[in-house]
Amino acid sequence: MLRKVLQRITQVIKSVKMTDISPSSAAVQQDDKGNKRPLVEELSDQHKKQKTESGEQPKKLQKRKIAMLIGYNGKGYHGIQINKEVNTIENEILQALVKTQCIPQEHADVPQKMSFQRACRTDKGVSAAQNLLSLKVIIDIENLLEKINSHLPEQIRVFGYRRTTGGFDCKNYCDNRTYMYICPTYAFAPLENIVTDEYRMTDDVVEHVNKMLARFVGTHRFHNYTSKIDAKEARAKRYIISFTCGKPFIRDGCEFCVITVRGQSFMLHHIRKMIGITIAIVRGNCGEDVIDKSWKPERVDIPKAPGQGLCLEQPHYDNYNKKYGTDGIHAPLDWVEEQDAITKFKEEYIYSDIMKTEKDEKIMMEWLGTLQHHAFDFVNDKDDRDSRFDKKRFLDKCKRDHHVFDVVDDKEERASRYAKQNYLKKCKEDTDIVITPETGFNFKSKRSNFDNSENTKANEDNSDGHSESEVKIKSETIEDNSDKHLDSEVEMKSK
């Protein structure tokens, strides 16, 4: 009984203590709740307004993957590919994108950060009517094309752009490429004809040219039409879809023709060498069997046509257009809307410049004079062939003002017969170069009067200041003349 009474008293005391403590505890909890920091969602409108006015952007502009269509005249540029050491087409375009705020400067310095790629790589001086770039840029800019072109020189234009798939790569997705070569028709004149601007190409010659160009169509090993590639390498095998010569046309008194080639891909100097051997065959410098020899593993001496007339016409994306161009989300890469601007640019900045340069400088006519120095046959060493037939090296070694030149068969014999190699490099006298189609290069000295009565002393104490150790010329190289005056006029020929 006593135990029950004690338990009851204990329960009453506990209930009284809880009643005394509860109000104070509730008050403490209420105070703690009042001291809590408000949530981000409970920020006042005034605070949000102050944050916006302070300059912080609420949303960042999104970069998009696009295909950008460009055209350019490559004259004065060292190709299209980015190179910090020299001026290139891509250097100009990337800086224009930075100035337009399409990309930051760090992306221009490291283009891989924006998945940058080009469809076709063009060499020094080569133009492109249409070439494609794939990259990630900000496109939510008003009058984007006008702003980009305002920061580019007139010979480089951006024609348009298209949104593409996220994984689009303009190089890997390209099915094939079309190039053009604008050539003066006198390049196909027979050897017995005098090469002039008045030459006109007949239908028979056009047919002959197309017949030779058709020999390259199909899959072949083109190791002889490039450099540093062996016949056994897989990359030497290329596929040519079409290769044709169009009807000739006259521009400013000179006749031209357009050679069009479409292929899966091309190597360095590939197109120029195919056109070079075609010109040599049609002119009569060699036979058609040279093409058959070029398919064999051995090296064959193939001439390389000038790069002045070469132009990239268009990269093709037939498979991409078929798969994504009709899905209702992505536009096809056919550039129909931009054709008027492309045609105007080609005519004004590419075609006219190529034809005007050829008419003024006669680049093709100068190159025709070098065809007779090629063997058009198997060669043992490519480096030896280049050193023997490279026209620029040959001309540098022949800049002498008072030596008598003669026909020689060997490069070493020529050097040992006339002068030491060091002397050839140190000659500073200018020499006129006269080019004739029949005989090749004729060198005519500006120094018409040369007294050779004392040939040994004259060579030891010449006006150029060369010492005896620098110049040792055999006495038999200068023949005695009764009037003791010599006009050095030379006709250079080699096998």
Least confident of 6-15, 233-242, 283-292: 6-15
Which pLDDT score, from 0 to 100, does residue 293 have? Answer: 95
Least confident of 237-241, 284-288, 377-381, 446-450: 446-450
Average pLDDT over residues 252-274: 95
**The pLDDT of residue 11 is above 90:** no
**The pLDDT of residue 23 is above 80:** no
**The pLDDT of residue 173 is above 90:** yes
Calpha distance 61→381 (Å, rounded): 58
208: left (phi over 0), alpha (psi -120 to 50) or beta: alpha
Which pLDDT score, from 0 to 100, does residue 381 have? Answer: 57
Average pLDDT over residues 159-180: 96
Residue 402's pLDDT band (cuts 50, 70, 90): very low
Instruction: Specify whether the CB–CB gap between 154 and 92 falls below 8 A.
Output: no
Average model confidence (pLDDT) across the chain: 78
Which pLDDT score, from 0 to 100, does residue 441 have? Answer: 41
Residue 18's pLDDT band (cuts 50, 70, 90): low
Instruction: Specify whether the CB–CB gap between 67 and 174 falls below 8 A.
Output: no
Which pLDDT score, from 0 to 100, does residue 490 have? Answer: 37
Token pair listed for 95 = 């800086």
Calpha distance 32→495 (Å, rounded): 105
**The pLDDT of residue 25 is above 60:** no
**What is the 3-state secondary structure of 76-112?**
CCCCCCCCCCCCCHHHHHHHHHHHCCCCCHHHHHCHH
Which pLDDT score, from 0 to 100, does residue 439 have? Answer: 40
Enter the pTM of the model. 0.67
- Which of the following is catalytic: 20, 45, 123, 383? 123
**The pLDDT of residue 87 is above 50:** yes
Q: Do domains 63-163 and 176-373 have the same CATH topology?
A: yes
Residue 173 assigned to a binding site:
no
Average pLDDT over residues 106-134: 94
DSSP codes of every residue in 248-271: -EEETTEEEEEEEEEES---TTHH
273: nearest Cα among 237, 232, 310? 310
**The pLDDT of residue 275 is above 50:** yes
**The pLDDT of residue 252 is above 80:** yes
Which pLDDT score, from 0 to 100, does residue 336 have? Answer: 94
**The pLDDT of residue 41 is above 90:** no
Instruction: Specify whether the CB–CB gap between 136 and 161 falls below 8 A.
Output: no
CATH architecture for segment(s) 63-163: 2-Layer Sandwich (3.30)
Which pLDDT score, from 0 to 100, does residue 52 have? Answer: 52
Least confident of 87-91, 263-267, 298-302, 481-485: 481-485
Which pLDDT score, from 0 to 100, does residue 56 have? Answer: 53
185: nearest Cα among 119, 271, 248? 248
Calpha distance 400→410 (Å, rounded): 19
Residue 417's pLDDT band (cuts 50, 70, 90): very low
Other CB atoms within a 10 A radius of the CB of residue 435 amount to: 16
Least confident of 10-14, 120-124, 335-339: 10-14
Token pair listed for 182 = 């604008």
Which pLDDT score, from 0 to 100, does residue 327 have? Answer: 85
**The pLDDT of residue 447 is above 90:** no
Which pLDDT score, from 0 to 100, does residue 390 have? Answer: 53
Residue 60's pLDDT band (cuts 50, 70, 90): confident
Answer yes or no: 123 catalytic.
yes
Of 3.30.70.660, 3.30.565.10, 3.40.50.150, 3.10.110.10, the CATH number of 176-373 is: 3.30.70.660
Residue ranges of domains in the chain: 63-163, 176-373, 390-491
Instruction: Specify whether the CB–CB gap between 451 and 481 falls below 8 A.
Output: no
Q: What DSSP designation does 36 have?
A: S
Calpha distance 155→93 (Å, rounded): 12
**The pLDDT of residue 443 is above 50:** no
Where is mean pLDDT largest: 21-25, 90-94, 383-387? 90-94
